[in-house]
Chain A
Amino acid sequence: MGGWERFAETFLNAKVMERYWPDIVAGLGTTIELAALIVLSGLAAGLALAVLRSFGVRVVNWAIVFVVDLFRALPPLVIIVLIYFGLPSIDVVPSGFVSTWLSLALVLMAFSEEIFWAGITAIPRGQWEAARSTGLGFGETLAHVILPQALRITIPPLTNRTIAITKGTALGSVVAVTEILGQASSAVSNSYNPSPLTLGAAAYLVLFLPVVIFGRWVERKFR
């Protein structure tokens, strides 16, 4: 057997791929579901914290900064493992799926809060003053004058950070989530052949390559 045949037999084994591709597609579905939940809840929580921070209550802001720094400093896998293996000891038993969702949503919340906050503080003070001088309240000024401008400048960094964190869904395989990598790994141990990993990589490309290209477009459009 030549080098190329051995390579193909190992990584592009047609029989194994045929047998396991439905599992990988199921994993792709789980990854998409997980990613969507992380993006929606993580960004919503991040924006909520940034808005809360703009009220300027000192104790609240200390708490926000502490939480944000905590989740920016901890490796995402450590958070997942802590939640999955730690919480059951206080009788909360989250599934692997929920542990992964919660962990990555918290990480995205932390990073996006910083990005939203930077956007809010980048808007000149004169915008606040002009709006307040016409009788707009704090919340109305924030909603109609500050946030529309702030969100626009946050879109490029936010897109990049969101993509980076969403790829972390692969970490779910460590806590038995049947997402792409999880499905591929078990297929590998059942078939004694790594070809399912090739399929898994292809599935990640199908999912994330368009997102990355979209991110590049967003970056150009909004910068």
Chain B
Amino acid sequence: MNETAGVTLTRKDFESDQEVRWCPGCGDYSILAALQSVFPEIGMQPHDTVFVSGIGCAARLPYYMNTYGVHSIHGRAPALATGVAMTQPDLHVWVIGGDGDMLSIGGNHLIHALRRNVNIKILMFNNQIYGLTKGQYSPTSEQGKVTKSTPFGSIDHPFNPISVAIGSEASFVARTHDMDRKHMMETFRRAHEHRGAAFVEVYQNCNVFNDGAFDAILKKDARPDMLIPLRHGEPIRFGADGAHGVAVNRFGEPYVCEVADVGEDGLLIHDEHRPDPTLAFSLSRLSTGPHMPTPIGVFRDVDRPVYEVEVAAQVDAAVERQGPGDLAAVLASGPTWTVP
């Protein structure tokens, strides 16, 4: 709980007066609830928080948060949020978008915001489909996906969003899902605490156009054997009785193993802070889609200079060096002559 002028903020303080209009049963509801629940806990203030989104079902979220918000244009939210952060580096800036918004039309802005390490928290709701435009395949849809635009199955090879983020020099990369409020809250808290760009992939069920896309790993009884929780400093281990784990082969590649085969000491100890991204990247390759054991949690969390802080520092340094700007002096700094 956090307090402003003696008032304790609650989840209600982050709910706007707008009626939430996703389809009944949509996974977006639980993501919104997780955000509104965790914000009071992590000390967020409505007035210094900005939600920026592109276009899509996911991108409607800012309307429902009682903060500042911009529902912008398709794919451009990471860029727009960069402008917000550059102007007011003290704001808390969250970016919301779908898999199409972030990885198709907005892929370029996503990778550049990540490499610049702008202090924005990017939540990508991955439902592996275009929801708002009524069900075309997306850049994360599995190959062969039959949709209205691909009646004979899609030919495209999909992106692995975590791999894209790590390949884009992201300093914080995590995955969570809409079936586990606690895990989402914890992941959002971690993203908030990270200084710099945070990329969080949220598996989200679109029950209208891609229902059950994640059932193989997210159904309650499937989870123990299909989700690989990543916990910093701990051996990577999963399965109802902890029988499975992740070890590293002689090429340095992680693979899913039986603990009985490699022994507890043979398991990979997860290190979010490894400066080199190679291992985190390899972990993201453990599963090629939500039908096999899939890591969730924080893949990577490293410290890097924050873009807008550096921008401001250059401005400060220039003032320090040259004094505050004097336009008359600048205009007269080239060759001048006087006509009497």
Tell whether A pairs with B: no
